[in-house]
Chain A
Amino acid sequence: MNRRVVVTGMGAVTPIGIGVRNFWANLKAGVCGIGPITRFDASRVKSSLAGEVKNFDPLNWLEKAEVGKMDRCAQFAVAAASEAMQLSGVAGTVDPNRAAVYLGTGIGGFETNEANCFKLFDKGPRRVSPFFVPMMIANMPAGLLAIRYDFRGAALPAVTACASGTNAIGEAVRAIRHGYADVALTGGTEAPIVEVGVSGFNSMKALSTAEDPNAASLPFDARRAGFVIAEGAGVLVLEEYERAKARGAKIYGEIVGYGSTCDAYHMTAPRPDADGAARAVVEALREADWQAGESVYVNAHGTGTHLNDVAETRALKIAFGEEEARRLAISSTKSATGHMLGAAGAVEAIVCLKALAENVAPPTINLLEPDPECDLDYIPSTKREAKFDLAISNSFGFGGHNASLAFRRVE
């Protein structure tokens, strides 16, 4: 069975806006969502900046009784899913047993974890919350969405670090394509801005320690020195094409390809030859039936770490061939949002769908000093209007996970 899979709903919670409309308008306009860390007292850690979601009031989506039992990452997932479900109008049209949830998170309830460790140290084991485990575990955002919408098919998390959101969507596509579900809520969520998290990434030398928000998240720029940690969520409603068409749903695009590979090389460093990343892109292109000469937008993983951006540039050249790679329009959303880890790929899928729908590629902001080792067209500073035939979103995660999705318009 090889059924077509389309997107009928989208929701976003990001450092540059809550709601797809706000997010997309700000992304096109080159708004920077990075600022001083306010989630905790950052005076002890090396990095002082993050991409925080501003003015997020969970009571807009949840009852008071629910808020205290959900980690911030689950609250983001609910907010993004609410928007996606509302847009889709799918509620009540699907057999609950044919509805699935595939939701990624790199870490899970990081705040809950840290807060309860402090309770254990300060007050002892009797003060560790009975909600500690359910709020912390990485599958709970998926489980909570299943409860909320009575989706009784598979409910699975993808936990592949920074590729989680993209892997979750890809696995949901396969579930619908091959007949295991007709509808899926899918995407990713993350709320990692906690002291232990920033400390850990700092110790890895993975984070930028810049103090200027406009010179911190610098994908493909020679000045780049690590990513900027960020939080958020992106959720899509996926449906089998014929049923979406039959019920008259608005279709935001089609997911036409997915590649998933592993470097099998190192815990955190990408393969220098970029073989794993390139194979993920090639798989997605093959499923998408890409033809040389097509106009392609690539939403890069583009983290702003030295190794990633060089390896990704190499991977695109291998996958498309040098000549076609030079024709690609490429940008990194992380230049504006920072790196939302397990949510990044899901939010960036939304960027691909909007780029195809509106014939515009958002920019890589603050890209002022191109790195000679990153010598493709990364759309510096301002958005570009162009009609694209195909959009590709790449995500690569610690553990060597490489995931790539391909999108097309549905005419």
Chain B
Amino acid sequence: MDIFEMIANALADRYGLDASEITPETELISIGVDSLDAAELLMALEEKIGVEIEPTKKLATIKDVVATVEAAQNETF
């Protein structure tokens, strides 16, 4: 499963959303994901992927989250 799919599924599961409605351009705030929710999401992804994720810029869209996770992976491997 690629990172985007993993994020979309995690959000759909947590917030009762339809995963197919989430796109890379979706703004986090538009689906009710605030900074605490985003921190929780990254924690869940850390658990799944096994790398430490430290965002270096503000997370506004799903794309930003994907980029943050990918950066963390590249740093590790």
Q: Please indicate the chain B residues that have their CB under 8 angstroms from the CB of A130 in the complex.
A: 36, 39-40, 43
A137 to chain B, nearest CB (A): 14
* Contact across chains for B14 and A131 when beta carbons are under 8 A apart: no
CB < 8 Å neighbour of A134 from B15, B36, B43, B46: B36
Name the interface residues of B1-25: CB closer than 8 Å to any CB of A.
Answer: 14-16
Asked if A68 is an interface residue, CB under 8 A from chain B, the answer is yes
Contact A64 B16 (CB under 8 A): yes
Q: Once the chains are docked, how many angstroms separate the CA of A131 from the CA of B39?
A: 9
Q: In the complex the two chains form, is B14's CB within 8 Å of A129's CB?
A: no
How far, in whole Å, are A130 and B16 apart by their CA atoms in the complex? 20
Min CB distance B54 to A, Å, is 10
Say which residue of B15, B39, B52 sits within 8 Å of A64 (CB atoms): B15
Chain B proximity mask over A117-142: 1 for CB below 8 Å, otherwise 0 = 00000000011011100100000000
Q: Are B36 and A65 in contact (CB under 8 A)?
A: no
**A126 & B15 in contact (Cβ 8 Å cutoff):** no
B13 to chain A, nearest CB (A): 9
Contact pattern, A 66-77, Cβ under 8 Å of B = 1, otherwise 0: 001100000000
Whole-angstrom distance between the Cβ of B5 and the nearest chain A Cβ: 20
By the criterion of a CB under 8 Å from any partner CB, how many residues of chain B are at the interface? 11
Cα-based distance from A328 to B34 in the complex (angstroms): 55
Decide: A131 and B40 in contact? CB cutoff 8 A: yes
Which residue of chain A is the closest to B33 with respect to CB atoms? A65
Say whether A126 contacts B40, CB under 8 Å. no
Interface string of B21-55 (1 = CB under 8 A from A): 00000000000100010011001001100001000
- Contacts A126-B52, A130-B36, A131-B40 given: A65-B16 contact, CB under 8 Å? yes
Distance (whole angstroms) from the CB of B12 to the closest CB of chain A = 10
Interface residue? A63 (CB, 8 A) = yes
What's the Cα separation between A68 and B16 when bound, in Å?
11
* B11 and chain A: residue at smallest CB distance: A65
A residues with a Cβ closer than 8 A to B are 63-65, 68-69, 126-127, 129-131, 134
CA distance A25 to B65 in the complex (A): 53
Q: Which of A63, A127, A129, A130 has the most CB of B within 10 A?
A: A130
Q: Which residues of B contact A (CB under 8 A)?
A: 14-16, 32, 36, 39-40, 43, 46-47, 52
A127:B43 contact, CB within 8 angstroms? yes
Q: List 10 A-B contacts (CB under 8 A).
A: A63-B16, A64-B15, A65-B15, A65-B16, A126-B43, A126-B46, A126-B52, A127-B47, A129-B43, A130-B40
Residues of A within 8 A of B40 (CB): 129-131
Closest A residue, CB atoms, query B17: A65
B contact residues around A64 at 8 Å (CB): 14-16
Task: Give 10 A-B pairs besides A64-B14, A64-B15, A130-B39 with Cβ atoms closer than 8 angstroms.
Answer: A63-B16, A64-B16, A65-B15, A65-B16, A65-B32, A69-B36, A127-B43, A127-B47, A129-B40, A129-B43
Residue on A with the closest CB to B31?
Answer: A65
Q: With a CB–CB cut-off of 8 A, which chain B residues contact A131?
A: 36, 40
Separation in Å of the B60 CB from the closest CB of chain A? 18
Give Cα A126 to B36, complex, Å: 14
Contacts of B43 in A (CB 8 A): 126-127, 129-130
Taking CB atoms, residues of chain B closer than 8 Å to A127 are 43, 47
CB closest chain-B residue, reference A127: B43
Contacts of A126 in B (CB 8 A): 43, 46, 52
In the bound assembly, the distance between CA atoms of A63 and B32 in angstroms comes to: 12
* CB neighbours of A63 from chain B (8 A): 16
Output the nearest chain B residue to A119 by Cβ-Cβ distance: B43
Residues from chain B with a CB closer than 8 A to the CB of A134 are 36
Report A147 CB to chain B, min CB distance, Å. Answer: 13
Report the minimum CB–CB distance from A122 to chain B (whole Å).
12
> Could you tell me the distance in whole angstroms from the C-beta of A160 to the nearest C-beta in chain B?
29
Closest CB in chain B relative to A299 CB, distance in Å: 40
Q: How far is the CA of A126 from the CA of B15 in the complex (A)?
A: 22
Do residues B14 and A68 form an inter-chain contact, with CB atoms below 8 A? yes
**Alpha-carbon distance A134/B36, docked complex (angstroms):** 10
